[in-house]
Chains A and B, each alone.
Chain A
Amino acid sequence: MFKRLKQKSNDQGTAQSSRNIALLLLAATLVFVSFSLFSSVLTWILLLVACGAVIRGAIYYNYYKHLPSIRTLNLLALLSILGLIYSALSAGLLFGMVNLLILACALKLMQMRSQKDVYQLVISLFFLIGCGFIFNQSIGFSLFYALLCLTLLLSLACYHAPSIRIQKQLKTISILSLQALPIGLLMFLVLPQLSPLWHTPKADGAQTGLSEQITPGDIARLSQSSELAFRATFEDTPPVIQQLYWRAIVMEDFDGKTWKVHGYRKKMRELQLKIKQQFKPILTGSFFNYEVIAEPTYQPWLYALDIAVPADPKSSRNIMQSSDFLLFSQQPLANKYQYAVRSYPKALASQTLSVTDKKINLSLPANGNNRTREWVNKLRAQFRNNNDFVDAVLRHFVDNPFVYTLRPEIMLVDPVDRFLFDNQAGFCSHYASALAYALRLGGIPARIVTGYQGGELVKNPGESPYMSIYQYDAHAWVETWGDKTGWQRIDPTALVSPDRIEFGLRQAMQEEGSFLADSPFALARLTNIAWLNNIRLFLADLDYNWSRWVLGFNSEKQRDLFKSLLGKLTPERLSMLGLGIVVTIAMLLGLFFLPHWLQNRVATTQRLYLKALSAFEKEGTQRATWQGPSAFNQQINEQYPTKVSDPFTHITQLYLRLTYQNKLDTDSSILSVKQCHRMMRRYLALLKSELLKN
């Protein structure tokens, strides 16, 4: 870049001067692109961009006439690059690349003098817009970037035709884009979707969604968010809402306050990633298929109903199954991620429990929560049978006035004791944590599973039903092991607040009024107002279809598309399709060009005469503009032998007769127009052959 700055500037005259509106459009585009990437661009680079834009604006509106000198810019470039190296070294490669690109564009904007500079800036900006799609993929941003693309094309058009009004340019560009759009879409649909060619640096951001550890109360914070967590599309009717426990993370390590993912599982997963080995759960019973589109979380956890396995080859290439029956992606989710899974809801009961599993799921902190310990010891003495013991613990939640609340008191010391016996008010994580702890104390392997519960079902006629699961659907529940029953899901929250499970958090929190209390204007909170709710549902629908059909379009979808078009994928049918496309394009082109060709065609009489003239022109005799046909014929008679001039005389006579004779005479004459033409053709052939002999 440094060297590029040094190139000699040569202004291409007044027409392409620095006061062209194209340059202003370029400046605007750069500003918009870089500010759309606000979160991943360094602030001082944004300032440079703004400076560049201001300089361009000042020059365009004639407030100022001089560009900064090359030497100043070189110095600035040097300093900026040092600054960039300093600040981007720690961040990722992608971050560095994007920042470097924006920096280079900003400097180029300040320095832009020649045509070459403009072209370089345009190309860089297109590339920058492409990079923008790594970070933002929503419909809004896509439309915004599309608009910026059109602006870039517009600036190019303005640059090459400086005197045309901008409205007319806009029309030209719109027509070009409308012509290009179907071709582009066709290419997108037809050209093969390749798998990644090499590993690329991913965008990284703050992790969102569920975390790998919970201290009771944490999920309550998540419940204040109405952001989308993921969407699931079912092939058939989805299971009833009480069965929709979306498993994400399993926590088995308890220290008296906080549940964490166990170190053993972490190590196992790392090992699995290294040797690419899948854990294979025992799959029994009925199953159903569905697709999930997960929102970016910058975490590897995926969501699925128990017990899920990847359902298509593409998903199984990227998704790993862990020994605690959860799915995780090989890379953290930096973009929306779509995967297909198959769930076996009854398979949880038929899994095995290894010695390590058992040890992990029975481990307890050395001390703390003494009242709970005493209480469990007492109960355990009373109920020797495991099932009876579990029932007895659960009865504690039913018999006592437990309250389900999003605003629990903070319990710092012995949280389980205080929750079970003093406060008796808490969120799902409190219940799950207390139950799992109690069961472990009673010698029953138990663990906490976090994920989401429920979701909003949307059924559009003619389409597969889908569910939207939002962050406020986050939930925690307990899994216990029974020697006969296998792993079993127990949700203590369901006992305390059945509404939470059956109707979702909104219903459960109606009395308390704490649902999304922090964001009073969230659309999700205002479902009582019918039209607002309709808008919300419409936007959700739009976003779902966008994710599913545009962002999630892949080679399988492509094959499905071809299948639905052709019925069966045979080489003949495929080649027929290709042929069809080519013919269609040729016909479109024909439609485009036909008027042009027809315009150039002259009447037959004229054409034949002109052909005779051009034959002479090749020989070097040209009809002067002032010569009439008869005069030219005379000249030919003088210049050429009779063998040549004779047919030409006939042609001339026929031409004169057809062109200038009275219409009525022509109709009544012996020779019809067609016969005349035929004769003209014959004489023309004769003339040409004689000329060749000559």
Chain B
Amino acid sequence: MTVLQSYWNKWLNKRIPAATQHHLNHHNIFIFPAKFGLLFLSLCVLLFLLGTNYQNNLMLLLCYFLLAIFLVTLLASYINFARIHLQIGKCPEVFVDDNLHIPLWLNANIDGTSPANGLLHFKFQAIKKQSNKKAKAQHIQSSTLIDADAFTNPINLSQKCHQRGKLTLSRVTVESFYPLGLYRCWTHLAFSHQITVFPKPIPCEIQLHVSDHTSAKKSGEMANEQAGHDDFSHLKTYQIGEPLNHVAWKQLAKGRGMVSKQFSSIGNHIGWLKLSANYTNKTLPHPSQELATALEQELSELCYQVIELSRTQRTFGLDLGAQCIAPNSGNGHRVACLDALAYFPKWGDEDV
């Protein structure tokens, strides 16, 4: 089963490689009679038997007509399905245990040709690793029904993120039964993406190691800082790009123009966020489950701190042992830190 599965996945990867947008065509469309189609065929057989036995030409004509409808619908459903064009949109930041809403744009920048019709079922391909029941439950949960004649772009597919790091986005299965339900047209689309799942932020005290990088091991020099303690220093003219929550709205109301508040804490409290040393030491004798969870816990707390510090425009560095990010501030720095946390090797990964 698993061998078959892997072959199937390999074949799929070759047949429908990941891309940011897919235009459905004969390379990626699968089509086969649906259950109802098979029922319909058996109806035709029954009508044929009845018509032959009663020597009833009208019944035979009905049978052949339905059979012809069956054939013609094959083309009709293919053509309808081939009008679908899907593009993955920009994703918001996502943390572990969050529901990620992946935006898919259906026929967004297609004009001229008529769009697809009928109901479309979107769902993530079931992950076979889990036990069947669980997979089934997830299956139903993630199925989204879209009416291609009445919908608003983008289509949001939600997926729960279980692991930090690069998001493993399973293939999106799109299926349609239009026009008569006789055929099931479906496809398994892989979308290439740059989505990183950050560790789940867990609220904690902010622990900035004020000292410089080399002498950080002394715990006495730890500066316990509460967020929001920064001191206001002066006002200056607002520049585009500065955060809006720094704008002195009162001054604006008084008619003194857009000015932004400047805080003085930045120079004083440059600090480092640090991971405990025992995780950076790779020669630890017995990697255990407890250590792994403890690592995740710590990464989560670091994540919280990064977010909080960035929110308050503080300058900080991140030291993960193997990887150091120099103190800085701003959104780029924040993302870099979160990325580093997300991609921090899992405990025990190095052994494998």
Which residues of A come within 8 Å of B, CB atoms?
A: 12-13, 15-16, 119, 123, 126-127, 129-131, 133-134, 137, 142, 145, 149, 153, 156-157, 159-164, 172, 176-177, 179-185, 187-188, 191, 193-200, 335, 550-554, 592, 596, 600, 617, 625
Q: Cβ of A550 and Cβ of B181 under 8 Å apart?
A: no
Q: Cβ of A335 and Cβ of B54 under 8 Å apart?
A: yes
Q: Cβ of A126 and Cβ of B179 under 8 Å apart?
A: no
Q: Cβ of A134 and Cβ of B177 under 8 Å apart?
A: no
Q: How far is the CA of A193 from the CA of B51 in the complex (A)?
A: 10
Q: Cβ of A592 and Cβ of B75 under 8 Å apart?
A: yes
Q: Which of B51, B72, B118, B119 contacts A180 (CB 8 A)?
A: B72
8 A Cβ contacts from B13-61 to A: 17, 20, 25, 35-36, 39-40, 43, 46-47, 49-61
Question: Which has the most chain B C-beta neighbours within 10 Å: A129, A161, A600?
Answer: A161
Q: Which of B54, B64, B147 contacts A15 (CB 8 A)?
A: B147
Q: Cβ of A153 and Cβ of B147 under 8 Å apart?
A: no
Q: Which of B65, B76, B117 contacts A184 (CB 8 A)?
A: B65
Q: Cβ of B179 and Cβ of A176 under 8 Å apart?
A: yes
Closest residue of chain B to A137, judged by CB?
B58
The answer to the question of B108 belonging to the interface, with a C-beta cut-off of 8 Å to chain A, is no
The answer to the question of B149 belonging to the interface, with a C-beta cut-off of 8 Å to chain A, is yes
Q: Cβ of B47 and Cβ of A156 under 8 Å apart?
A: no
Contacting residues, chain A, for B40 (C-beta < 8 A): 123
Question: Which has the most chain A C-beta neighbours within 10 Å: B49, B50, B65, B178?
Answer: B65
The answer to the question of B337 belonging to the interface, with a C-beta cut-off of 8 Å to chain A, is no
Contacting residues, chain A, for B156 (C-beta < 8 A): none
Q: Cβ of A553 and Cβ of B55 under 8 Å apart?
A: no
Q: How far is the CA of A137 from the CA of B51 in the complex (A)?
A: 13
Q: How far is the CA of A335 from the CA of B55 in the complex (A)?
A: 10
Interface size counted on chain B using CB atoms at 8 A: 50
Q: How far is the CA of A191 from the CA of B63 in the complex (A)?
A: 12
The answer to the question of B161 belonging to the interface, with a C-beta cut-off of 8 Å to chain A, is no
Q: Which of B43, B47, B58, B119 contacts A160 (CB 8 A)?
A: B119
The answer to the question of B291 belonging to the interface, with a C-beta cut-off of 8 Å to chain A, is no
Q: A162-B119, A176-B73, A181-B65 are in contact. Are A196 and B181 (CB under 8 A)?
A: no
Contacting residues, chain A, for B50 (C-beta < 8 A): 130-131, 200
The answer to the question of B69 belonging to the interface, with a C-beta cut-off of 8 Å to chain A, is yes
Q: Cβ of B71 and Cβ of A180 under 8 Å apart?
A: yes
Q: Which of A12, A134, A153, A161 contacts B178 (CB 8 A)?
A: A161
Q: Cβ of B66 and Cβ of A126 under 8 Å apart?
A: yes
Task: Render B233-245 as a binary contact track against A, CB cut-off 8 A, 1 for contact.
Answer: 0000000000000
Please give 8 more A-B residue pairs, beta carbons under 8 A apart, in addition to A123-B39, A130-B63.
A126-B62, A133-B58, A156-B179, A177-B65, A194-B52, A551-B57, A551-B58, A592-B75
| Nearest 5 pairs of A and B residues by beta carbon | A180-B68, A183-B68, A184-B65, A184-B68, A163-B149
The answer to the question of B145 belonging to the interface, with a C-beta cut-off of 8 Å to chain A, is yes
Q: Cβ of A200 and Cβ of B60 under 8 Å apart?
A: no
B93 to A: closest C-beta gap in Å: 22
Closest residue of chain B to A169, judged by CB?
B179
* Interface CB pairs A-B, < 8 A, 9: A15-B145, A130-B59, A130-B62, A133-B51, A176-B73, A184-B65, A184-B66, A554-B55, A596-B79
Contacting residues, chain B, for A137 (C-beta < 8 A): 56, 58
Q: Cβ of A176 and Cβ of B46 under 8 Å apart?
A: no
The answer to the question of B67 belonging to the interface, with a C-beta cut-off of 8 Å to chain A, is yes
Contacting residues, chain B, for A592 (C-beta < 8 A): 75
Q: Cβ of A184 and Cβ of B64 under 8 Å apart?
A: yes
Q: A129-B62, A130-B47 are in contact. Are A160 and B68 (CB under 8 A)?
A: no
B101 to A: closest C-beta gap in Å: 19
Contacting residues, chain A, for B71 (C-beta < 8 A): 180, 183
Contacting residues, chain A, for B39 (C-beta < 8 A): 119, 123
Q: A119-B36, A176-B72, A592-B75 are in contact. Are A127 and B43 (CB under 8 A)?
A: yes
Q: How far is the CA of A540 from the CA of B57 in the complex (A)?
A: 20
Task: Render B318-348 as a binary contact track against A, CB cut-off 8 A, 1 for contact.
Answer: 0000000000000000000000000000000
Q: A187-B68, A553-B57, A600-B25 are in contact. Are A119 and B181 (CB under 8 A)?
A: yes
Task: Render B115-136 as a binary contact track against A, CB cut-off 8 A, 1 for contact.
Answer: 0011100000000000000000
The answer to the question of B180 belonging to the interface, with a C-beta cut-off of 8 Å to chain A, is yes
Contacting residues, chain B, for A129 (C-beta < 8 A): 62
Contacting residues, chain A, for B53 (C-beta < 8 A): 196-200
Which residues of B come within 8 Å of A, CB atoms?
A: 17, 20, 25, 35-36, 39-40, 43, 46-47, 49-69, 71-73, 75-76, 79, 117-119, 145, 147-150, 177-181
Q: Which of B25, B145, B181 contacts A156 (CB 8 A)?
A: B181
Q: How far is the CA of A552 from the CA of B59 in the complex (A)?
A: 13
Q: Is the interface of B mostly helix, strand, loop or mixed?
A: helix
Contacting residues, chain B, for A550 (C-beta < 8 A): 57-58, 61
Q: Which of A130, A181, A554 contacts B51 (CB 8 A)?
A: A130
Q: A123-B39, A164-B149 are in contact. Are A180 and B69 (CB under 8 A)?
A: yes
Q: Cβ of A200 and Cβ of B147 under 8 Å apart?
A: no
Contacting residues, chain B, for A625 (C-beta < 8 A): 20
Q: How far is the CA of A335 from the CA of B47 in the complex (A)?
A: 17
Q: How far is the CA of A131 from the CA of B51 in the complex (A)?
A: 9
Q: Cβ of A160 and Cβ of B59 under 8 Å apart?
A: no
A435 to B: closest C-beta gap in Å: 41
Closest residue of chain B to A618, judged by CB?
B17
B87 to A: closest C-beta gap in Å: 11
Contacting residues, chain A, for B43 (C-beta < 8 A): 123, 126-127
Contacting residues, chain B, for A197 (C-beta < 8 A): 49, 52-53
Q: Cβ of B69 and Cβ of A153 under 8 Å apart?
A: yes
B72 to A: closest C-beta gap in Å: 5
Q: A149-B62, A551-B57 are in contact. Are A127 and B47 (CB under 8 A)?
A: yes
Q: How far is the CA of A551 from the CA of B17 in the complex (A)?
A: 56
Q: How far is the CA of A133 from the CA of B180 in the complex (A)?
A: 24
Closest residue of chain A to B180, judged by CB?
A156
Q: How far is the CA of A552 from the CA of B20 in the complex (A)?
A: 61
Q: Cβ of A160 and Cβ of B54 under 8 Å apart?
A: no
Closest residue of chain A to B62, judged by CB?
A130
Contacting residues, chain B, for A552 (C-beta < 8 A): 57
Contacting residues, chain A, for B61 (C-beta < 8 A): 184-185, 188, 550
Q: How far is the CA of A421 from the CA of B73 in the complex (A)?
A: 77
Contacting residues, chain B, for A164 (C-beta < 8 A): 117, 149
Closest residue of chain A to B182, judged by CB?
A156
Q: A177-B69, A550-B58 are in contact. Are A160 and B64 (CB under 8 A)?
A: no
Question: Which has the most chain B C-beta neighbours within 10 Å: A145, A163, A195, A197?
Answer: A163
Contacting residues, chain A, for B49 (C-beta < 8 A): 197
Q: A134-B54, A180-B72 are in contact. Are A159 and B181 (CB under 8 A)?
A: yes
Closest residue of chain A to B44, judged by CB?
A126
Closest residue of chain B to A337, judged by CB?
B55
Q: How far is the CA of A179 from the CA of B71 in the complex (A)?
A: 10
B89 to A: closest C-beta gap in Å: 14
Q: A130-B47, A196-B53, A551-B57 are in contact. Are A183 and B36 (CB under 8 A)?
A: no
Contacting residues, chain B, for A195 (C-beta < 8 A): 52, 55
Contacting residues, chain A, for B117 (C-beta < 8 A): 161, 164
Q: How far is the CA of A145 from the CA of B17 in the complex (A)?
A: 49
Contacting residues, chain B, for A596 (C-beta < 8 A): 79
Q: Which of B55, B67, B72 contacts A196 (CB 8 A)?
A: B55
Contacting residues, chain A, for B17 (C-beta < 8 A): 617
Contacting residues, chain A, for B54 (C-beta < 8 A): 134, 196, 200, 335
Q: How far is the CA of A198 from the CA of B148 in the complex (A)?
A: 48
Closest residue of chain A to B179, judged by CB?
A157
Q: Cβ of A160 and Cβ of B178 under 8 Å apart?
A: yes
Closest residue of chain A to B148, judged by CB?
A161
B42 to A: closest C-beta gap in Å: 8
Contacting residues, chain B, for A198 (C-beta < 8 A): 53
Closest residue of chain B to A553, judged by CB?
B57
Contacting residues, chain B, for A194 (C-beta < 8 A): 52
Contacting residues, chain B, for A16 (C-beta < 8 A): 119
Q: How far is the CA of A592 from the CA of B75 in the complex (A)?
A: 10
Q: Cβ of B181 and Cβ of A160 under 8 Å apart?
A: yes
A431 to B: closest C-beta gap in Å: 40
Q: How far is the CA of A134 from the CA of B47 in the complex (A)?
A: 11
